[in-house]
Amino acid sequence: MSQLPAPVSLPIITPEEVSREAAPRLPRWLKRNVPKGNSNHFTANLLEELRLETVCDNAKCPNRMECYSQKTATFMILGNVCTRPCGFCAVAKGKTQQVELDEPDRLAEASARLGLAHVVITSVTRDDLDDGGAEHFYRCVLAVRERTGAAVEVLTPDFLGKPGAIERVVASRPEVFNHNTETVPRLYREVRGRKSDYRWTLELLRRVKELDPTIKTKSGLMLGLGELRDEVLDTLADLRDVGCDLLTLGQYLQPSPEHLPVVRYLPPEEFDELGLAARRMGFAQVASGPFVRSSYHAREMAE
């Protein structure tokens, strides 16, 4: 299994990577082969050359060929070691890496050579940095835009208690500012760890809209962790209350037996039904389905 699943996002592991022990009865709708193709080799070589990570390749995301063909990719910046202990996420925890000052330029170079039209930039949570990595996000967004003219979507950690961090990322004027809610308030601490706070997630999304109403805000939940339908609907209502525009709903998959168990695999019809309810609540765009991940159809959703 990949060592680099998704940071601050829906659990980017594929059904093929779910531990047999962890999930012995994978439902039929989650049995899907990861597509292969030449563009993967090209992308892999380029990423190696430029010492970059994408969530798409490292996690062997089942949607990646679709995303590449739509000229979308998700880059992971600020290293691959996280300072939070989220129970659903297999990103390594421990000693974080030095911020690489040339990373914004390498990211811009890769985006240009891949001909990307929509670039998603995400990171691990860096509580060890005074600004949580906000300045680095700022520099990455500017570098990509200047070099490629691509639309940029940031998928950030919560920057909990870091003065000026949200403001700094907003100042780079990304087209989309995504911060994932991940789960309902009742399960928040259990799923995201003691440091994470549901109210702060809402506050971040509210603050982004307040600072720049032209930026589309986005959030996502992974389902199947034991949340109740009404709790999901209440959470979606909270997101609409803070002006959240775009929503993703996807199935949680357990990366290993050490991670939180899947309580339930939601059938596709239930995702359809929740997606419909979300659209009725006023989300401008909703992606809801077992395979949906934070960046799924990101370009389409942002347009």
Chain residues in the site for ligand SF4 (CB under 6 A):
7-8, 82, 84, 86, 89, 91, 124-125, 157
Query: What is the C-alpha to C-alpha distance for residues 299 and 295, in angstroms, rounded to an integer?
Result: 8
Measured distance CA(173)–CA(155) in Å, rounded: 13
Residue 119: what are its φ and ψ, rounded to 5°? -110, 125
Nearest to 14 by CA among 26, 225, 48: 26
Q: Among all chains, which residue has been given the structure tokens 């034991």?
A: 226
- H helices present in the chain, as ranges: 38-49, 55-58, 64-69, 103-113, 134-148, 165-171, 188-192, 198-211, 229-241, 268-281, 298-302
Q: What is the DSSP string of 17-85?
A: GS-TTT-S---GGG--PPP--HHHHHHHHHHHHTT-EEHHHHTT-TTHHHHHHTTEEEEEES-SEES--
CB of residue 237 vs ligand SF4: minimum separation in angstroms?
A: 24
| Smaller CB separation from ligand SF4, 96 or 235 | 96
Whether the CB-CB separation of 122 and 4 falls below 8 Å is answered with no
CA-nearest of 133, 114, 131 to 123 is 133
Q: Where are the alpha helices (DSSP H) in 212-267?
A: 229-241
